[in-house]
């Protein structure tokens, strides 16, 4: 492990070096701070018996995200090479992509021109089409989840809210990010591929 790339409410992403492949990788650790803590031996444990169910549910979703991503080999979708359980939690090993998120770009350039937008949106649409053709919905399209690498390649990140199409059409709960969701998604109604396209438009 080299350093921490980022940390949020659901986990920590580390920069690491794969000594077998001799290349940099990113390792995402499931650690929802509202539900669990790191114990003295380094393992992750639920904060209390009251959070244990939600922690296990979240861990299952994290592993589901890893399994979904491991199915893809697409230039515009983050690549997961492996995932595993250890220390009471789970990890996914991803290709390390250096660059900036679209949200970081927008902070520097609040009104990007059409040419820049097309260089970002068209590859994003290619990635989304591959996700949909595989039978999944992303459900959390937003600028922080779109990475533009230093080489100019656009990569869709964070599949933590991904669901298969059948489940997404029967699930009745609000899943996504306020301000980026379609009306039906915000209402907790059945969603479809159109819901992801709406979020791309936002």
CA distance 13 to 26: 6
20 vs 2: CA distance, rounded Å: 16
Is 60 catalytic? The answer is no
Closest CA to 68 of 114, 20, 134: 134
Sequence-ordered list of residues with C-beta below 8 angstroms from that of 2, at least 6 positions apart, any chain:
14, 15, 16, 17, 24
Catalytic-role residue among 113, 126, 140, 158: 140
**Residue from 136, 187, 122, 183 nearest 195 by CA:** 183
Selection from 148, 100, 106, 103 nearest residue 124 by Cα: 148
User: Which residues belong to the active site?
Assistant: 140
């Amino acid at each position: 492990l080299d350093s921490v790339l980022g940390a949020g409410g659901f986990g920590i992403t580390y920069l690491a070096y794969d000594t077998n492949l001799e290349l940099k990788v990113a390792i995402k650790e499931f650690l929802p701070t509202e539900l669990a803590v790191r114990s003295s031996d380094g393992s992750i444990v639920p904060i209390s018996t009251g959070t244990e169910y939600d922690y296990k549910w979240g861990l299952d979703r994290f592993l589901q995200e890893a399994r979904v991503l491991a199915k893809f080999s697409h230039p515009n979708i983050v690549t997961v090479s492996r995932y595993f359980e250890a220390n009471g939690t789970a990890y996914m090993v991803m290709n390390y992509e250096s660059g900036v998120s679209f949200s970081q770009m927008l902070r520097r350039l609040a009104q990007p021109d059409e040419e820049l937008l097309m260089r970002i949106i068209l590859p994003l649409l290619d990635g989304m089409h591959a996700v949909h053709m595989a039978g999944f919905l992303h459900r959390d399209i937003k600028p922080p989840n779109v990475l533009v690498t230093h080489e100019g390649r656009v990569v869709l990140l964070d599949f933590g809210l991904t669901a298969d199409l059948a489940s997404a059409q029967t699930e009745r709960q609000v899943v996504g990010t306020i301000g980026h969701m379609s009306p039906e998604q915000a209402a907790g109604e059945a969603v479809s591929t159109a819901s992801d396209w709406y979020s791309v438009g936002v």
